[in-house]
Amino acid sequence: MKKVFIALLMLATTAAFPLRADVLVLVHGYLSGAQSWDESGITTVLQQNNWQRAGTYVAGPAGIQLLPVPGEGAEHIFYSVDFPSEAPVLVQVHLLREVLSAINTNHAGESIILVGHSAGGVVARTALVRGGAENVKALITIASPHLGTSLAEYALDATDIPFPFSIMTDFFGGDGYHTAMRSRSLYVDLVRPQPGTLLYWLNAQVHPNIEYFSIVRGDTQAGWGDNVVPAYSQDMNNVPALQGRSARIVIPMGAHGLEPVDGSVIVNLLADLG
């Protein structure tokens, strides 16, 4: 296994490394969107370290649309995506593959690095396994449920209410219940691996020979992760097809959402990729 990095020790060295990557693609997680990278301060950290925002790829009725941001043709650029986060993994994978195809056309020959938060990390990894993601040189995932999360199973149980009782739940359940009902197909994709599930299939597939980085929330020795995904599930080294191939970066905090520290870790990893 590659060296285990401790994120807090990396923060002081953020500005010390030259950046060498070409195109960064930020993939958001569940119940989120492109704005999550801005609200967390990550895009600010990227811009402070010579990464220029190039635009956002938005999924709409007419397909993928790029909302560009005028720039100066910087060497290091990043895009974010804005997908329907309640959609099943394979729907989001289809959209991401369209984005990667467009980037490969517009930035021919340049390397791509994928960064996925939470379910976005599973979406990005599935896109790599299914092909059509040429020129990707690395995958960085942040608090992603590579081996699933029991919360997805709890959510499925909570919304598996037979008729006619479901009528009363629809009426009194509120916005949270309706969100969960719309997300059931995604929850199915994020349950813990067992035969017949997406993660069981995905975790046994041959993965591209690229660099893998797992940003893990919590304490891996104690076994706890954040409030959504256990630590072992966030570590791609525990994926049968990726054992020993992922560098692990431990952030000893319990929050599942994105934080400015993630931006600092990403910048250091980009510099280390070379």
Per-residue burial over 15-43, b if 16 or more Cβ lie within 10 Å, else e, is eebebebbbbbbbbbbebbbebbeebbbb
pLDDT for the residue numbered 13? 39
Q: What is the pTM of this model?
A: 0.88
Per 3-state DSSP, the chain is made up of helix, strand and coil in percentages (nearest 5) of: 40, 20, 40
Q: What percent of the chain has pLDDT over 90?
A: 72
Please indicate whether residue 3 or residue 141 has the higher confidence score (pLDDT).
141
Distance CA 141, CA 128 (A): 13
Per residue in 35-58, pLDDT (tens digit) is: 999 999 999 999 999 999 999 999
Which residues have C-beta within 8 Å of that of residue 176, sequence separation ≥ 6?
none
pLDDT for the residue numbered 20? 38
Average pLDDT on 124-152 reads 94
Which residues have C-beta within 8 Å of that of residue 256, sequence separation ≥ 6?
118, 143, 217, 226, 227, 228, 229
The token pair at 137 is 């040189």
Per residue in 169-221, pLDDT (tens digit) is: 443 344 677 898 899 999 999 999 999 999 999 999 999 999 999 999 987 66
Report residue 269: phi and psi, to 5°. Answer: -65, -40
Enumerate domains of the chain plus CATH numbers.
5-148+197-273 (3.40.50.1820), 150-189 (no CATH)
Which residues have C-beta within 8 Å of that of residue 49, sequence separation ≥ 6?
14, 15, 19, 267
Distance CA 15, CA 51 (A): 12
Give me the amino acid identity at 43: T
Q: What percent of the chain has pLDDT over 70?
A: 84
pLDDT, the chain, mean: 87
What is residue 81's three-state secondary structure? strand
pLDDT for the residue numbered 148? 98
Residue 162 scores a pLDDT above 70: no
pLDDT for the residue numbered 220? 66
Per residue in 61-101, pLDDT (tens digit) is: 889 999 999 876 678 999 999 999 999 999 999 999 999 99
> Angle at CA 158, nearest 5°, toward 156 and 162?
95
Per residue in 216-268, pLDDT (tens digit) is: 998 766 668 899 999 999 999 999 999 999 999 999 987 899 999 999 999 99
Cβ atoms 234, 217 nearer than 8 A: yes
Closest by Cα among 152, 161, 173, 193 to 30: 152
pLDDT for the residue numbered 168? 34
Please indicate whether residue 16 or residue 118 has the higher confidence score (pLDDT).
118
pLDDT for the residue numbered 6? 41
Residue 12 scores a pLDDT above 80: no
Strand order in the sheet with 77-82: 5-6, 246-251, 211-217, 136-142, 112-117, 23-27, 77-82, 52-60, 63-68
pLDDT for the residue numbered 176? 77
Angstrom distances, CA of residue 130 to CA of 92, 94, 127, 133, 201: 13, 10, 5, 8, 12
Of 2-11, 25-34, 62-71, 159-168, which range is least confident? 2-11
- For residue 141, what pLDDT band results from cuts at 50, 70 and 90? very high
